[in-house]
Amino acid sequence: MAIVNENFLKLQAGYLFPEIGKRRRAFQQTHPEAKIISMGIGDVTQPLAPAVIEAMHKAVDEMAKKETFHGYDDSGIGYAFLREAIAKNDYKTRGVNIDIDEIFISDGAKSDTANIQELFGLDNIIAVADPVYPVYVDTNVMAGRTGAVAGQGTYLKIIYMPATAENGFIPDVPSQRADMIYLCFPNNPTGAVASKDQLKKWVDYAKENKSVILFDAAYEAYISDSKIPHSIYEIEGAKEVAIEFRSFSKTAGFTGVRCAFTVVPKELRTYTRAGQSVALNPLWNRRHCTKFNGVSYITQVGAAAIYCDEGKKQVRQTIDIYMNNAKTIRESLSSFGYKVYGGVNAPYIWVKTPEGIGSWQFFDLLLNKAHVVTTPGAGFGPAGEGYVRLTAFGNPSDVNEALQRIKAINK
Ligand SMILES: Cc1ncc(COP(=O)(O)O)c(C=O)c1O
C-alpha cells in the first residue's frame, strides 16, 4: 500500500491565486463586456531587453553547430561566465566578496526557497513574517516541519512575526528561538524595505541563536534609496548566518524564461544534534548536482547579457517603467483618500481598505465596480487583513485606466 505524504493534507484548500481567478472568471461570465484590468498577480508585462534577446539568438546559433554546441553543464551549478558576472556586478560593487563557488544558478527563487529546506532537519522551528509570500509556509507544511492548521490560515509550530503599520512592516525579532528565519526585502506583499540597522538586528539574533536567515532579495533591483542594502551580506558577519535568494524574474523580465540564483556562503554553518558544526555550501552543491541538471545554456547566456553596459541600461529602463507605475498608483490612491504603503523601493503597493471593509470585500468591490483585480491582503496571513496588494507590473495605459475607474467609484 502506497502511503501518501499526509503533510500535503494539512494544506489549506484554495491557494490564494486560484480563488482570485475563480472570482474573476465568475464576474467575467456575468459581465462579458467588462474589460478587466489585473493589478493583482505579480507577473511582468514588458518584453525582454534587446541585449538579452540578441545574446539568446547567438546562443541558439551556437547550439546549431557541432563545434559550439553545449550539452550538460559540467559544473552542475551554472556556467562560470554567469557566476562571475553576478559576483562582480551584484556583490563586488557593493563591497561584498562572494566566491563564484558560493553562487548556484537555478530555474527560480520559488523553487530555491522551497528546496533549500531539504538541508534542514524537520525539528527546526521556522519564523515567517505575517503577511508573507505563501511559498515559504506551504513548502514547510509539505515537508512536515509544521503542525496542523491553527485557524485564520496559520499553522502550529510556526512563529508568525506581525508586520504592521505600527512597526513600519518590519517585524521585530521574536522573543523565542527560531532556527530558520525567512526574510524578504524589498517585501512582497507590503513593499517595505529594511535598513542596515534593522537587518543587523536579525544577523545578531541569528548568531546568538545559531539560526539561519533565508533572505529573499528577489526585488532588490527596485531599490532606489542609496542607504537601503540590496544584499544581507552588506551586514557584517551575515555570511556566517544567511543564505540569499535572487532572481532574474523581476529584475529582467525572466518570469517565462526562468533563471535565478542562490548564494550559500562557505562560512555558513548548521549543527548536528550532537552540536557538531556542518557547512551548508558543500551540501547544497551536492543536492543541486544530484537533483537538478542545470538551467539551459541559452538562458544563462541571456541572463549574463543583463550585466553588459547595454543590458544594464535596458533593464533599468524597464524597471523605471514599473516604478513610474508605482509612483502613479501611490500618488493617485493617496489623492483619492486611501492610506497607501510601499511602492517606493519596491514594485508592490499595500493599500489599507476603507474603514469596516475587509480584504476580500474590498477585492470584490474593486472587481465589481471598477473591474480591477487586486490581491486581498488576508491571503498573505492574518495581519494582511484590512489591506489589498497592488502591483506595478502592468502596462502604464492599463494602470492609468484602472486608477481612473477606482477614482470614479469614490465619487
Ligand atoms: C518574494 C518572492 N520570491 C520569489 C519569487 C519567485 O521568483 P522566481 O520567478 O524566480 O521563481 C517571487 C515571485 O513572485 C516572489 O514574490
pLDDT digits (tens, 9 = 90+) for 283-301: 999 999 999 999 999 999 9
Task: Give tens-digit pLDDT for 243-265.
Answer: 999 999 999 999 999 999 999 99
Ligand 1 mean position to 137 CA, how many Å? 14
Ligand 1 mean position to 250 CA, how many Å? 8
Residue whose CA lies nearest to ligand 1 atom number 14: 42
CA dist., res. 307 & res. 256, Å (int): 19
Higher model confidence: residue 149 or residue 96?
A: 96
Q: Around Cβ 9, how many Cβ atoms within 10 Å?
A: 9
Ligand 1 mean position to 135 CA, how many Å? 9
Residue whose CA lies nearest to ligand 1 atom number 2: 218
Pairing of strands 154-155, 340-342: unpaired
| CA separation, residue 290 to residues 76, 89, 109, 167, 386 (Å) | 9, 29, 18, 42, 44
CA dist., res. 220 & res. 91, Å (int): 12
pLDDT at 203: 98
Ligand 1 atom at minimum distance from 247 CA:
10
For residue 83, report the phi and psi dihedrals to the nearest 5 degrees.
Answer: -65, -35
Task: Give tens-digit pLDDT for 7-29.
Answer: 999 988 656 888 899 999 999 99
Pairing of strands 242-247, 180-184: unpaired
Ligand 1 pocket mutation pick from 113, 133, 261, 292 by most atoms within 8 angstroms of CB: 133
Long-range contact set of residues 331-340: C-beta below 8 Å, sequence gap at least 24: 332/403, 332/406, 332/407, 333/390, 333/403, 333/406, 336/406, 336/407, 336/410, 337/410, 339/165
| Ligand 1: lining residues by beta carbon, under 6 Å | 42, 108-110, 133, 184, 188, 216, 218, 247, 249, 255, 260
For residue 130, report the phi and psi dihedrals to the nearest 5 degrees.
Answer: -130, 110
Ligand 1 atom at minimum distance from 250 CA:
9
The three three-digit cell numbers of residue 59, written as one number: 546562443
Ligand 1 mean position to 298 CA, how many Å? 21
Ligand 1 mean position to 218 CA, how many Å? 6
Mean pLDDT of 192-203: 98
Task: Give tens-digit pLDDT for 319-344.
Answer: 999 999 999 999 999 999 999 999 99
Ligand 1 mean position to 109 CA, how many Å? 5
Question: What residues are paired with 161 via a beta bridge?
Answer: 129
**What mean pLDDT is reported for the chain?**
96
Torsion of CA 139, 7, 117, 221, to 10 degrees: 0
